[in-house]
Amino acid sequence: MRSPQAAVAVAMFVTLAGTIAVAAQELKLRTIQGTVVDEANRAVASAVVYLRDDRTNSVRTYITNSSGHYRFNWLGEYDDYELEAQANKFHSHRHTISQWDTRRDFVIDLKLDKKQG
């Protein structure tokens, strides 16, 4: 026979689990991913990709894998971001991701060009 305290604990756990599941569905997180390529469209391994949050001015970095791929997860829905890549003496153009763009998944390939002196 179970105690009343155990029954209450089980009921609270079920309620909490349901609340968390609903909150996770309502949370609209975004992902940005892509490939860094050179001027000849070849993948660039070990390039550094910078993602700056315009609201907090915080910067996240990602070093591309051997296929030139990068990925940023768990990005806020209501934030604007700037994205760019750099490797040796090359850098990409800056891309802006707006909070008004309702997509959740972005695929942005970054092409490296020579730095201007």
Domains of the chain: 29-114 (2.60.40.1120)
* Cα separation values, 104 from 21, 31, 67, 97, Å: 19, 6, 23, 11
Question: Could you state, in chain order, the average pLDDT of each consecutive group of 10 residues for the chain (117 residues)?
Answer: 66 64 66 97 98 96 98 94 96 96 96 76
CA distance 91 to 48: 9
CA distance 18 to 41: 47
Query: How much is the pLDDT for 53?
Result: 96
